[in-house]
Amino acid sequence: MDETAIIQELKASGIDLVTSIPCDRMKGLFFRLPEEFRHIGLTREEDGVGVSAGAYLAGARPLVAIQSSGLGNMLNALLSLTVAFGLPLPILASWRGGPDETIPAQVPFNRSLPGILSAAAIPFTVLSDRRGADKIGSAIASAFEKRSPHVILARPGCFEEQGPPMEPPAPLCAGPAQTVHYIRDWSSPSMTRYDAIGSIANEVQDEVIVSNIGVPSKELYAAKDRDLNFYMLGSYTQVSAIGLGIAAVRPDRRVIVLDGDGSLLGSSILPVIAAAAPANLTVVALDNGVFGSTGNQPRPGCETADLRLMALGAGFKRTWTVHETAELVEAVSASAGGGPSFIHARILPGNREVPNIPLKPAELRDRFMGALERGSEKKIVR
């Protein structure tokens, strides 16, 4: 089967958003995916799990296309996000490490991959020849029917490569020259994370808020629970990826992400967001210099890593640094539209004593999707 047959099968299955990292065993397909689908290119495979989760929550039918080695990077996110919340995710992966593999490093993980997927209870389908296009459709249908991941492992012999375009594309780095003038002006923060979250929650109306794992989500729930809040329960580093997926599918709806300093420093999502350029997305980096949800242990670079400068380097054009709630509220208001926008909110360490969120993952999923689909939210008075 060639890439045209694969693309036709994906379209027949209703796939309308693809995230990908290329593999040279299917290079023709990876050239065509951005031409045929709404597409978000990745730099790390696990971010495709988060983007796809957000896209599905917003009403799309996503698929991730990678080489099989990338499944190792995705496993925790697949289990703690896709499986935990009951989200469908078909994954098309070129299966490396076979008898004709020329790269020794590809062999150990990929040789064990069927057993790894089985141990994780992740369904998979193996394509062994060029007549397997219909198996792709069946695997995609199973993922959406069962609301689970389903991996399609395609052996190299399955593909009849049509190859890349005859003419190489223009270098992506040949953009216009830009001058960035930046002065880091840090002062002592005066707000806690709960202060920051509460100040944002009190200002929103019909905006989507996606909150980071652990205590931040519990603090948002305590400050102002809404149907349009999506609370993370696991999947470290994935909150901004989820926000990107929602924003990409629903450009009519403003999306505010409450991320953390440790989470962002462990992620590669900022350049992906800047490249996708969703005008409706604001990322608020709540930076307390510690790993707050695990006991406030200092994180590496707490005195040196500048998150706003990282966002500028990634390609964000609209950025702010704030230290108090009035500045934060002003920046959140100013960042509406024209994004993506990034707010570096420097805050004090410490966690508010708040209860656990008394909602199961499937309940959070269904009420969020229902509110987003309705275009209005059920008001909850506390």
Q: What mean pLDDT is predicted for residues 241-254?
A: 98
* pLDDT confidence tier of residue 168, bands split at 50, 70 and 90: low
**Which residue reads 């989500």 in tokens?**
217
Sequence-ordered alpha helix ranges (H) in the chain = 3-12, 27-36, 46-57, 71-77, 84-85, 107-111, 113-119, 133-146, 193-201, 215-223, 239-249, 261-265, 269-276, 307-314, 325-334, 361-374
Q: Which has the higher per-residue pLDDT, 223 or 164?
A: 223
Does residue 120 register a pLDDT over 80?
yes
- pLDDT at position 171 is 62
Q: What mean pLDDT is predicted for residues 70-96?
A: 97
* pLDDT confidence tier of residue 174, bands split at 50, 70 and 90: low
Does residue 166 register a pLDDT over 60?
no
Mention every residue, 6+ apart, whose C-beta is less than 8 A from residue 361.
84, 85, 86, 233
Do the two domains 3-158 and 193-374 of this chain adopt the same fold?
Answer: yes
Q: Which CATH class is domain 193-374?
A: alpha beta
**Which residue reads 């949800």 in tokens?**
293
**Per-residue pLDDT tens for 14-57?**
999 999 999 988 888 999 999 999 999 999 999 999 999 999 99
Q: What mean pLDDT is predicted for residues 110-138?
A: 91
**Interatomic CA distance for residues 83 and 49, integer angstroms:** 11
Q: Using CA of residue 237, residue 215, residue 188, residue 284, what is the dihedral sign?
A: positive
DSSP state of 244: H
Q: Phi and psi (nearest 5°) for 273?
A: -65, -45
Q: What mean pLDDT is predicted for residues 2-25?
A: 94
Strand 149-154 and strand 89-94: the pairing is: parallel
**Per-residue pLDDT tens for 294-344?**
777 878 877 788 999 999 999 999 999 999 999 999 999 999 999 999 999
- pLDDT at position 260 is 94
Average per-residue pLDDT for the chain? 91
Percent of the chain with pLDDT over 70: 94
Opening angle at CA 253, ends 367 and 266, nearest 5? 80
Q: Which has the higher per-residue pLDDT, 225 or 214?
A: 225
Q: What mean pLDDT is predicted for residues 259-286?
A: 96
- pLDDT at position 180 is 79
**Per-residue pLDDT tens for 130-165?**
777 789 999 999 999 999 999 999 988 777 665 555
* pLDDT-wise least confident of 67-71, 182-186, 348-352, 372-376: 372-376
Q: What mean pLDDT is predicted for residues 102-118?
A: 94
- Which three-class secondary structure state does DSSP give residue 211? strand
What the block records as the tokens of 207 is 């905006």
* pLDDT confidence tier of residue 167, bands split at 50, 70 and 90: low
Residue 115 CB neighbours (<10 A): 9
Does residue 208 register a pLDDT over 80?
yes
**Interatomic CA distance for residues 275 and 41, integer angstroms:** 9
Does residue 175 register a pLDDT over 70?
no
* pLDDT confidence tier of residue 248, bands split at 50, 70 and 90: very high
Does residue 177 register a pLDDT over 90?
no
Fold of 3-158: Rossmann fold (3.40.50)
Q: What mean pLDDT is predicted for residues 84-97?
A: 96
Contact 320, 345 (CB under 8 A): no
Domain ranges across the chain: 3-158, 193-374
- pLDDT at position 377 is 44
- pLDDT at position 281 is 98
